[in-house]
């Protein structure tokens, strides 16, 4: 194909919530459909969080998809930060219909070369949704 160059984007990499640093939450496996060995059930408290360490070979924007379930009838917003900087305040994690119905919330985040700390922090007394994993590409 003369004149054309095929470019593959970075491969998508999954980072399981149960392998991340958890503050005020617990790993569970009592609802079906999760990947890995379980998911994180946030404590019902503002400030509970899950924090992943994600390496990047170069600095730049990345797509982040957070897989979650919210079996309540209320939004469970979370602040999304990368390396301590807010990238989405009170990002919505709307109801999914059941704790076993999983959805993806996607946003673009800035990564630096080297390790990056990606944190999802509950902003209400209801805590966050159940979090299965993040996928970074």
Q: What is the pLDDT of residues 79-115, one digit of tens each?
A: 999 999 999 999 999 999 999 999 999 999 999 999 9
- Please report the pLDDT score of residue 11 as a whole number: 86
- pLDDT tens track for 40-82: 999 999 999 999 999 999 999 999 999 999 999 999 999 999 9
Buried b (16+ CB within 10 A) or exposed e, 15-32: bbbbbbebebbebeeebe
Distance CA 26, CA 28 (A): 6
**pLDDT in the model for residue 10:** 66
9 confidence band (pLDDT: 50, 70, 90): low
Q: In whole angstroms, how far apart are CA 30 and each of 10, 38, 69, 100? A: 33, 8, 12, 9
pLDDT at 6 over 80: no
Per-residue model confidence (pLDDT) at position 72: 98
Is the pLDDT score of 3 beyond 60?
no
pTM for the predicted model, two decimal places: 0.92
- Return the pLDDT at 82: 98
């Amino acid at each position: 194909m003369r004149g054309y160059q095929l470019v593959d984007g970075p491969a998508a990499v999954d980072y399981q919530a149960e392998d991340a640093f958890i503050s005020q939450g617990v790993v569970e496996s009592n609802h079906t459909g999760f990947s890995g060995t379980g998911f994180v059930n946030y404590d019902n408290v503002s400030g509970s969080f899950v924090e992943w360490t994600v390496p990047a070979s170069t600095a730049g924007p990345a797509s982040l998809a957070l897989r979650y379930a919210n079996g309540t009838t209320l939004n469970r917003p979370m602040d999304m930060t990368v390396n301590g900087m807010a990238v989405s305040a009170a990002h919505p994690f709307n109801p999914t219909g059941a704790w076993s119905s999983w959805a993806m919330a996607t946003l673009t985040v800035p990564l630096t070369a080297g390790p990056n700390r990606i944190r999802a922090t509950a902003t209400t007394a209801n805590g966050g949704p159940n979090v299965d994993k993040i996928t970074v590409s």
